[in-house]
C-alpha cells in the first residue's frame, strides 16, 4: 500500500467528523513535513515551489529508505500494512499481478508482511455469513465510516458488476477490501446481522441513510428494506426486445415525442409578439397574442364576431385564453353573474371559464371571457374539415366518399362530450355551443368544449333549460354524424338541415360503422322512436344516453387508464433527474474553479480532493485500451447513490495512480455539503 506524500487527503479519517481537517497529516504535523517527500517530486520529478515556500522535502534520495522505514505501531494506516489477501483467487491473482506491474519496488515489502496477515472473510458474504469464523482465520471487520488506503493495484472499480449485476452474486465493494493490518482489524466493527431488526417506515427520513448492513441483507429480509432513492426500477410497459440487464439511453429519460410536445406547448405558452396593434393590457391581462388563424369573422355560433387571444395575468402570472365578442353592449348587469355558476363547474372535457368583463380598450364596446389556455390546440372544425384535415377523405372505386375517421375516434368524442354535457346539465345549465369551431382538441383525441357560458351572459334564448339541454344532445348527434359522414353542412347548416337529410346520412354512416354507433346517433337525433317526423329534437336526457353507451364508456376508460399508465411510466424516468441536476450544479460550482487554478492547496486537499477524484471516478473512467467509458448507467447510479448518501464504499484513485482511498457515498455527500457551504459563505 502506498501513502501519498504531500497529499492532504487521508482516507482513514471520517470526512463528517468536525475534527477531520485538524487530523489531516500534512497540515497537522509540521515537524514531519520537512521529512516528507514532496508529491510533485514523485509525480513530475521536480517541484516549482521548491524555492518559494514549499515545506516538503525535495531531496528524493531518501525515498526508498524512508519508505522502508517502519512506522510507529500507533499509526493505523501506513506503507507497511499487509498486502490484501482477497477471498477469491481471481481477485488475489489480479491484485498480485497489478501490484507487481505498478509498484515493483514496494512489492516485496508488502508481500513479506502479508504472510502473517489475516485472511479477510466478509461476514456479509452469502456463502459464509452464517458460518462461525474458521480456526486460524482472523475476521476483518471494517468500520462502515472509515476510509482506508489500499494498494491501488487492486482494481476494485467493480465494472463487471456495474454492467451486469444480475450475472453474478452481488458483493458489496467494501467486503472485497483488503485487511489493512491487525490493528485495524481489531478496531473495526463489522455491521451486525439484521434479520431480527424491524424498521419503522414512518420514522424514516426520506433521504436519510439506513444502517449499512441494511443494503446488503439477504433476500428473506428484503421486505424490511427502506425505500432506496438511488435505484431506478423500470415500470411497465416494457420493451421486450432488450435483455434483462439492458437499458436504452432513452429508457432513462422522457420519450422524445412527449418531450418535444411538451416543449412546443411551453414555447407556445410563453410566446409574445413585439407589435400586434392590440391593447397593452386588458384589466389584469397583458401581452395579448391573437390565436385566430381564420381571418373571417363569423357571428354564426355566438351571434357576434369573436376573437381569441392568449394573455398573461398580472395577478398570478398564468396564461389565459381571452375570447372577445366584438360590439357587444351589456344591458343587463345581472346576466354577467351567471359566470359564477360556470366557474364552479369542473370537467376534464370542458374549458374552464373564470370571469367576464366588458372593455372599451379595442375602441368599441366588447365583452371578454377569460378561459384556461390550452397551448397548441386546434378546433374540431380545423381537424376534420379544415384545409389540413387530419383524416384525408377516402373515395371508393365509384368516386363516392367513404368514412375516413376510425370509429374509435368517434366514440372517444362521444364519451368525452357527453361527460362534459353531464356536468353542465347536472348544474341545470346548457352548453349551447355544440359546434365544431367551439370544441378544441388539446392533444391527440382529447377534446374540450370551449366558449361555454357565453350564451347565458349575452342573454340568448328565453327557452326553458330542458329544451336547451335537449338541443345539446341533438347537436351532439349532428356533430358526430357530420364527422362520420365527412359532411360539415350537417352541423354548420344549423336548423336548416332537414330530417330526410339527417336520416339519409344516418343510413350512410350505418353502412360503415357499428350498430352501436348508429343506435347512439339515432338516440341523439331523436329518431330512435322518441321524436316524430315533425319533431326531430331528442326528448331523451344525457343520463339515459350515457347508460345506452355504457359499454363504450368502459372501453374509453380502459384506454385512458392505459394512457395514464404510460404517462406515469414516462414520469418515473424523470423522477430523480431534478435532484441529479441540482447535484451536478453543486459539483460544477466546486470543481475546476478558475480562481484556484494554480492553487493545489485548494483543489488537492481535504474534501475538495475527494470530490475531484470522485468526479474522475464517475465521468473520466477509461477502459483497458485507454478509451473513455461513456456509461450513462454508471453515472446515474453513482450520482443517485451520492445524493442518497448510502453507506456503500467506493475506491477513488488519484490520476497518478500513486494513491487511492476508499470512502463511502455518505462521506462524499458530506464533502459536497461542506464544500458547497464553504463556497456559499460571503467570503467563501
Ligand atoms: N381555451 C383555449 N385555449 C387555447 N386556444 C384556444 C382556446 N379556445 C380557442 N382557442 C383557439 O383559438 C382559435 C380561434 O378559435 P375560434 O373559436 O375563434 O375558432 P374559429 O374557427 O375562428 O371560429 P369563428 O369562425 O367562430 O371565429 C382556434 O385555433 C382555437 O384552437
Instruction: Report the pLDDT averaged over residues 46-53.
Output: 78
What does the mean pLDDT of the chain come to? 72
Task: State the pLDDT at residue 226.
Answer: 59
- Which residues, listed in sequence order, are joined to residue 624 by a DSSP beta bridge? none
Going from the Cα of 350 to the center of ligand 1, the distance in angstroms, rounded, reads: 14
CA distance 62 to 267: 67
Average pLDDT of the residues in 211-234: 49
379 appears as a binding residue in the annotation: yes
Give the number of the atom of ligand 1 that is nearest the alpha carbon of residue 382.
21
Kindly tell me if the per-residue pLDDT of 268 is higher than 80.
yes
Asked if the ipTM is above 0.95, the reply is yes
- pLDDT beyond 50 at 421: yes
**CA 379 to ligand 1 center in whole angstroms:** 6
Mean pLDDT, residues 512-524 taken together: 94
Task: Summarize pLDDT for 427-442 with one digit per residue, the tens.
Answer: 999 999 999 999 999 9
User: Does the pLDDT of residue 162 top 70, yes or no?
Assistant: no
Mean pLDDT of 164-176: 34
Task: Please determine, looking at this structure, whether the domain spanning 577-654+674-680 carries the CATH number 1.10.287.3700.
Answer: yes
Cite the DSSP H helix spans in 404-540. 407-426, 454-457, 465-484, 489-492, 499-512, 515-525
pLDDT tens-digit map of 297-350: 788 889 999 999 999 999 999 999 999 999 999 888 888 889 999 999 999 999
Asked whether residue 88 carries a pLDDT value surpassing 60, the answer given is no
Reduce the DSSP state of residue 354 to 3 states and report it.
strand
Looking at per-residue confidence, does 40 or 109 come out higher?
40
Residue pointed to by grid coordinates 326553458: 464
Residue 543: the pLDDT is: 94
Of residues 41 and 146, the one with the higher pLDDT is: 41
Q: How confident is the model at residue 214 (pLDDT cuts 50, 70, 90)?
A: very low
Strands across the sheet containing 649-653: 148-149, 660-664, 649-653
Angstrom CA distances, 676 to 75, 257, 451, 482, 608, stand at: 31, 37, 52, 64, 10
Where does residue 30 rank: exposed (0-12), middle (13-18), buried (19+ CB within 10 A)? Answer: exposed
Q: State the pLDDT at residue 236.
A: 64
**Does 373 count as an annotated binding residue?**
yes
Q: Where in the chain is the domain with CATH 1.10.510.10?
A: 263-563
Question: Taking CB atoms and a 6 Å cutoff, what residues make up the pocket around ligand 1?
Answer: 291-294, 298, 301, 306, 308, 321, 351, 371-374, 377-379, 381, 437-438, 440, 450
C-alpha–C-alpha distance, residues 541 and 528, integer Å: 13
Inform me whether the pLDDT recorded for 600 exceeds 80: no
pLDDT tens-digit readout, 569-586: 888 877 777 888 888 888
Q: Is 378 annotated as a binding residue?
A: yes
Higher pLDDT, 92 or 661: 661
Q: Distance between CA atoms of 120 and 179, rounded to whole angstroms?
A: 6
Per-residue pLDDT, 659 = 84
Above 50 in pLDDT, residue 395? yes
* Local structure of residue 352 (DSSP, 8 states): P
* Banded pLDDT at 56 (limits 50, 70, 90): confident
pLDDT at 648 > cutoff 90: yes
Quick check: 360 and 252 in contact, CB under 8 A?
A: no
Give the model's confidence band at 588: pLDDT under 50 very low, under 70 low, under 90 confident, else very high: confident
User: According to the model, what pLDDT value does residue 389 have?
Assistant: 82
Confidence of residue 521 (pLDDT cuts 50, 70, 90): very high
Is 461 among the annotated ligand-binding positions?
Answer: no
Rounded-to-integer distance, Cα 345 and Cα 342, Å: 5
Mean pLDDT of the region 87-92: 38
CATH class of segment(s) 263-563: mainly alpha
CATH 1.10.287.3700 in the chain, residues? 577-654+674-680
Mean pLDDT in residue range 631-640: 88
Q: Given the C-alpha cell 448492513, which residue does it identify?
A: 213
Q: For residue 603, what pLDDT is reported?
A: 65
Rounded distance from Cα 194 to ligand 1 centre (Å): 64
Amino acid at each position: 500500500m502506498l501513502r501519498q506524500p504531500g497529499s492532504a487527503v487521508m482516507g482513514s479519517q471520517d470526512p463528517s467528523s468536525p475534527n477531520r481537517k485538524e487530523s489531516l497529516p500534512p497540515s497537522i504535523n509540521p515537524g514531519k513535513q520537512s521529512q516528507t517527500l514532496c508529491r510533485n517530486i514523485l509525480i513530475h520529478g521536480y517541484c516549482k515551489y521548491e524555492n518559494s515556500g514549499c515545506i516538503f522535502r525535495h531531496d528524493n534520495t531518501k525515498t526508498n529508505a524512508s519508505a522502508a522505514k517502519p512506522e510507529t505501531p500507533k499509526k493505523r494506516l501506513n506503507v507497511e500494512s499487509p498486502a490484501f489477501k482477497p477471498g477469491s483467487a481471481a481477485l488475489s491473482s489480479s491484485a498480485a499481478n497489478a501490484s507487481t506491474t505498478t509498484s515493483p519496488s514496494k512489492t516485496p515489502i508488502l508481500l513479506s508482511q502479508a504472510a502473517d496477515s489475516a485472511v479477510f472473510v466478509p461476514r456479509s458474504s452469502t456463502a459464509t455469513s452464517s458460518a462461525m469464523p474458521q480456526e486460524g482465520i482472523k475476521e476483518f471487520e471494517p468500520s462502515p465510516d472509515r476510509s482506508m488506503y489500499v494498494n491501488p493495484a487492486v482494481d476494485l472499480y467493480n465494472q463487471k458488476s456495474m454492467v451486469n449485476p444480475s450475472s453474478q452474486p452481488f458483493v458489496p465493494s467494501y467486503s472485497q477490501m483488503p485487511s489493512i493490518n491487525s490493528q485495524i482489524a481489531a478496531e473495526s466493527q463489522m455491521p451486525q446481522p439484521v434479520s431480527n431488526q424491524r424498521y419503522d417506515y414512518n420514522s424514516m427520513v426520506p433521504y436519510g441513510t439506513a444502517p449499512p448492513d441494511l443494503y446488503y441483507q439477504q433476500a428473506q429480509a428484503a421486505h424490511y428494506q427502506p425505500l432506496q432513492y438511488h435505484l431506478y426500477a423500470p415500470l411497465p410497459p416494457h420493451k421486450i426486445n432488450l435483455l434483462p440487464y439492458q437499458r436504452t439511453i432513452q429508457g432513462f429519460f422522457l420519450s422524445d415525442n412527449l418531450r418535444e410536445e411538451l416543449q412546443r406547448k411551453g414555447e407556445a405558452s410563453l410566446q409574445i409578439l413585439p407589435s400586434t396593434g392590440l391593447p397593452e393590457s386588458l384589466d389584469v391581462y397583458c401581452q395579448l397574442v391573437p390565436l385566430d388563424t381564420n381571418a373571417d369573422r363569423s357571428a354564426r355560433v355566438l351571434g357576434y364576431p369573436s376573437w381569441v387571444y392568449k394573455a398573461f395575468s398580472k395577478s398570478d402570472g398564468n396564461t389565459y385564453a381571452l375570447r372577445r365578442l366584438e360590439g357587444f353592449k351589456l344591458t343587463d348587469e345581472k346576466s354577467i353573474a351567471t359566470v359564477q355558476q360556470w366557474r364552479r363547474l369542473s370537467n376534464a372535457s370542458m374549458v374552464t371559464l373564470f370571469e367576464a368583463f366588458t372593455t372599451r380598450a379595442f375602441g368599441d364596446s366588447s365583452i371578454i371571457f377569460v378561459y384556461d389556455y390550452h397551448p397548441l390546440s386546434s378546433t374540431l372544425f380545423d381537424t376534420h374539415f379544415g384545409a389540413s384535415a387530419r383524416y384525408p377523405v377516402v373515395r371508393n372505386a365509384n368516386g363516392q366518399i367513404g368514412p375516413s375517421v376510425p370509429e374509435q375516434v368517434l366514440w372517444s368524442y362521444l364519451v368525452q362530450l357527453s361527460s362534459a354535457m353531464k356536468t353542465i346539465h347536472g348544474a341545470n345549465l346548457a352548453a349551447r355551443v355544440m359546434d365544431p369551431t367551439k370544441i378544441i382538441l388539446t392533444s391527440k383525441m382529447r377534446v374540450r368544449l370551449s366558449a361555454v357560458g357565453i350564451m347565458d351572459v349575452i342573454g340568448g334564448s328565453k327557452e326553458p333549460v330542458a329544451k336547451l339541454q335537449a338541443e345539446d344532445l341533438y347537436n351532439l348527434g349532428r356533430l358526430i354524424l357530420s364527422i362520420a359522414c365527412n359532411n360539415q353542412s350537417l352541423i354548420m347548416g344549423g336548423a336548416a338541415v332537414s330530417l330526410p337529410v339527417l336520416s339519409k346520412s344516418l343510413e350512410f354512416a350505418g353502412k360503415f360503422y357499428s350498430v352501436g354507433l348508429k343506435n347512439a346517433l339515432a338516440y341523439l337525433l331523436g329518431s330512435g322512436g322518441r321524436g316524430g317526423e315533425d319533431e326531430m329534437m331528442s326528448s331523451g336526457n344525457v343520463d339515459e344516453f350515457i347508460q345506452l353507451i355504457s359499454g363504450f364508456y368502459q372501453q374509453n376508460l380502459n384506454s385512458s387508464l392505459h394512457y395514464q399508465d404510460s404517462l406515469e411510466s414516462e414520469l418515473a424516468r424523470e423522477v430523480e433527474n431534478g435532484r441529479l441536476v441540482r447535484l451536478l450544479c453543486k459539483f460544477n460550482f466546486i470543481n475546476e474553479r478558475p480562481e484556484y487554478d494554480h492553487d493545489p492547496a485548494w483543489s488537492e486537499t481535504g474534501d475538495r480532493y475527494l470530490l475531484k477524484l470522485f468526479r474522475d471516478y464517475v465521468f473520466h473512467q477509461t477502459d483497458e485500451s485507454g478509451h473513455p467509458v461513456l456509461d450513462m448507467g454508471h453515472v446515474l447510479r453513482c450520482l443517485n447513490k451520492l445524493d442518497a448518501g448510502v453507506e456503500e464504499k467506493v475506491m477513488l484513485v488519484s490520476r497518478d495512480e500513486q494513491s487511492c482511498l476508499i470512502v463511502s457515498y455518505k462521506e462524499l455527500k458530506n464533502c459536497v455539503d461542506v464544500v458547497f457551504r464553504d463556497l456559499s459563505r460571503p467570503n467563501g
